[in-house]
């Protein structure tokens, strides 16, 4: 009986997949950009079922992102395994302004993929999307795209240099391998060896609807490389009706019986070639080597499918993820991440008040430094998130609540706040209000003409519902008594597709929508909020 894989295999802002098989175990690592800890590692034993198992870059000594711009930080990873050691290459993009880009590349290693990773080894800074190739002669090579700042060219081709594992540094000359094809914007290189050929796979066409995967080969590792006669071998650029769009930037893996699969990023637009609130995700397809020693989609054509034949491997399902988090453990749930800086007891804790997540107010939501935000991905088109918060603000500069977030310039924030100082001066108690702050392209406004007075409410329940592009907030002063807050909002602005054009100038836009619990104290008094639970639900429809 044929088994099938349903795409995408890893949903909701999990782009740039690098796949690695070790025995019967498969691991995929994906990009996280400004979200900390860096990278997500998912595990599978059947290529059908995947589970988040770790984030390797969990120390500031490995990944210092304080102050990095939106969609910078850690870009496309490369995970490889050789002689008992896992190797993880990463770029920490520090600036992306004008023609100049600062993007050092580092390498960390481990013998236990679920354990601690090493301190970083600096590699180079010539471009992003670094990858390692372990040749069968025991030599190791670093590949990356070449940044070319001259006249705004940006994409300068693919370069390669040998990495000496004993000296832990790059050695020898830098080889220029490949300038790319007519599809342009050549990046994401991976190198493979088969039947006497070296195969260079690249991502081209940008990360939007022109994205694609291209292939070239050579008998010599240093080239010259001849391009695939039917490039690109995976793309949706010619199929605007396809369920999987933006297909490109991927990796290859050979399963136990010798069959091959390609993993790659993809997007699921709400409308044809429209906006993708779930960001760029990870998909898989079966590929095959033909008599001409070139790789093709096994199903023919170039468009990846929603449903793919699975390899003949034993089923290995995982427990369904928890829908509700009650904050009754000492550790923060693995599905949550913070922005740029680590979770630390000085601003977030599940032990200071047992059964509650305590979040201490710090910077505003526009900050690239010290936000107090605990967030998880939106992973389907129809979802909802809810929480209950206890918060007693003393001023309008103190806020806490539930945010639907894309970046520092695009979010919707249902929050509790206080009033001004005048009432306290007169001996009156501070009133407490509920409001929605909207931030679109950096322009901040209130969604309500009049905030909702909730003075005297000890606990406030908050909820956000995504239904495609439609976003509706709710609140309740007693559990289950939900009342809508404001009108339906355009949730599709929390997408790469909107953000990249909203400012009128190109900025990197590579993440996805999040639900977050957060607290701000712009007075510097570090007022805290206590959240008693967080619940995330998915409502599956035809589009999911």
Here the tokens at position 57 are: 């870059």
First CA to last CA distance, the chain:
25
Class of residue 22 by CB neighbours under 10 A (exposed 0-12, middle 13-18, buried 19+)? exposed
Which of 70, 187, 390, 530 is the catalytic position?
187
Exactly one of 16, 46, 285, 497 is catalytic; name it: 16
What is the full per-residue pLDDT of the chain (544 aa) written as tens digits?
Answer: 899 999 999 999 999 999 999 999 999 999 999 999 999 999 999 999 999 999 999 999 999 999 999 999 999 999 999 999 999 999 999 998 878 889 999 999 999 999 999 999 999 999 999 999 999 999 999 999 999 999 888 899 999 999 999 999 999 999 999 999 999 999 999 999 999 999 999 999 999 999 999 999 999 999 999 999 999 999 999 999 999 999 999 999 999 999 999 999 999 999 999 999 999 999 999 999 999 999 999 999 999 999 999 999 999 999 999 999 999 999 999 999 999 999 999 999 999 999 999 999 999 999 999 999 999 999 999 999 999 999 999 999 999 999 999 999 999 999 999 987 656 666 677 899 999 999 999 999 999 999 999 999 999 999 999 999 999 999 999 999 999 999 999 999 999 999 988 766 567 899 999 999 999 999 999 999 999 999 999 998 645 6
Task: State how far the Cα of 221 lies from the Cα of 133, in Å rounded to an integer.
Answer: 10
Residues in the chain: 544
Q: Is 281 a catalytic residue?
A: no
Annotation says 16 is catalytic: yes
- Beta partners for 214? 202
Q: What is the CA radius of gyration of the chain?
A: 24
Confirm if 178 and 145 have CB atoms less than 8 A apart.
no
Answering whether pTM is above 0.85, one says: yes
Domains (range + CATH), the chain:
4-309 (2.115.10.20), 324-538 (2.60.120.200)
């Amino acid at each position: 009986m044929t088994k099938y894989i349903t795409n995408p295999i890893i949903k909701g802002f999990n782009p740039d997949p690098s796949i690695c098989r070790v025995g019967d175990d498969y691991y995929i690592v994906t990009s996280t950009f400004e979200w900390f800890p860096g990278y997500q590692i998912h595990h599978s034993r059947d290529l059908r079922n995947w589970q988040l198992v770790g984030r390797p870059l969990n120390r500031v000594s490995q990944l210092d992102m304080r102050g990095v711009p939106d969609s910078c930080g850690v870009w496309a990873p490369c995970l490889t395994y050789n002689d008992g050691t896992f190797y993880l290459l990463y770029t920490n993009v520090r600036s992306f302004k004008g023609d100049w880009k600062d993007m050092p590349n580092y390498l960390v290693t481990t013998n236990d993929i679920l354990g601690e990773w090493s301190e970083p080894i600096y590699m180079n800074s010539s471009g992003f999307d670094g990858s390692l190739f372990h040749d069968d002669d025991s030599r190791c090579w670093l590949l990356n795209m070449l940044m070319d700042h001259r006249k705004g060219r940006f994409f300068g081709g693919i370069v390669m240099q040998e990495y000496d594992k004993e000296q832990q540094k790059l050695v020898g000359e830098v080889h220029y391998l490949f300038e790319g094809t007519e599809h342009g914007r050549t990046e994401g290189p991976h190198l493979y060896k088969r039947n006497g050929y070296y195969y260079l796979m690249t991502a081209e066409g940008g990360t939007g609807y022109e994205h694609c995967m291209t292939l070239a080969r050579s008998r010599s590792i240093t080239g010259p490389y001849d391009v695939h006669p039917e490039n690109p071998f995976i793309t949706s650029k010619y199929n605007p009706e396809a369920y999987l769009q933006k297909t490109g930037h991927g990796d290859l893996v050979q399963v136990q019986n010798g069959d091959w699969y390609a993993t790659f990023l993809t997007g699921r637009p709400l409308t044809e070639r429209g906006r993708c609130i779930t960001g760029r995700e990870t998909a898989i397809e079966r590929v095959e080597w033909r008599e001409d020693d070139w790789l093709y989609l096994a199903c023919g054509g170039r468009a990846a499918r929603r449903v793919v034949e699975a390899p003949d491997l034993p089923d290995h399902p995982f427990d369904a993820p928890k829908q509700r988090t009650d904050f009754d453990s000492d550790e923060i749930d693995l599905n949550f991440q913070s922005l740029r800086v680590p979770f630390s007891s000085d601003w977030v804790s599940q032990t200071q008040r047992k059964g509650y997540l305590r979040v201490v107010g710090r910077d505003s939501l526009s900050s690239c430094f010290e936000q107090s935000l605990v967030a998880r991905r939106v992973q389907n088109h129809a979802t909802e998130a809810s929480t209950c918060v206890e918060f007693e603000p003393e001023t309008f500069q103190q806020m806490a609540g539930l945010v639907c977030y894309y970046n520092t310039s695009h979010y919707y924030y249902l929050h509790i706040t206080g009033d001004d100082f005048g009432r306290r001066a007169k001996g009156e108690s501070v009133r407490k209000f509920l409001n929605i702050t909207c931030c679109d392209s950096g322009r901040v406004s209130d969604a309500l003409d009049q905030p909702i007075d909730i003075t005297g409410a000890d606990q406030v329940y908050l909820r956000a519902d995504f239904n495609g592009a439609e976003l509706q907030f709710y609140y309740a002063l007693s559990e289950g008594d939900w009342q809508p807050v404001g009108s339906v909002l355009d949730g599709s602005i929390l997408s790469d597709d909107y953000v990249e054009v909203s400012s009128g100038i190109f900025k990197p836009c590579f993440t996805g929508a999040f639900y977050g619990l957060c607290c701000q104290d712009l007075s510097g008094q570090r007022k805290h909020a206590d959240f008693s639970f967080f619940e995330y639900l998915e409502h599956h429809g035809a589009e999911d």
